[in-house]
Amino acid sequence: MAVVKLTEKRIRDLPLGAGIFRDKDVKGLMVVSHKTTKTYACQGDVRRNGRHVRTVRVKIDRCDRIGLAEARRRAKAIMSTIQSGVDPTAGPRQSGVTVAEALEAHLSERELRPSTERSYRDHLERYLVRLRGRAVADVSRQ
**What pLDDT was estimated at residue 139?**
52
Find out whether 90 and 66 touch, Cβ atoms under 8 Å: no
**137 has pLDDT over 70:** no
pTM for this predicted structure: 0.64
User: Whole-angstrom Cα distance, residue 77 to residue 71?
Assistant: 10
Ramachandran region of residue 32, left (φ > 0), alpha (ψ -120 to 50) or beta?
beta
Average pLDDT, the chain: 86
Segment 30-48, tens digit of pLDDT = 999 999 999 999 999 999 8
H/E run at residue 21: strand 19-23
Structural domains for the chain: 2-83 (3.30.160.390), 99-138 (no CATH)
pLDDT of 82-123, one tens digit each?
999 888 888 766 667 777 788 888 999 989 999 999 998 888
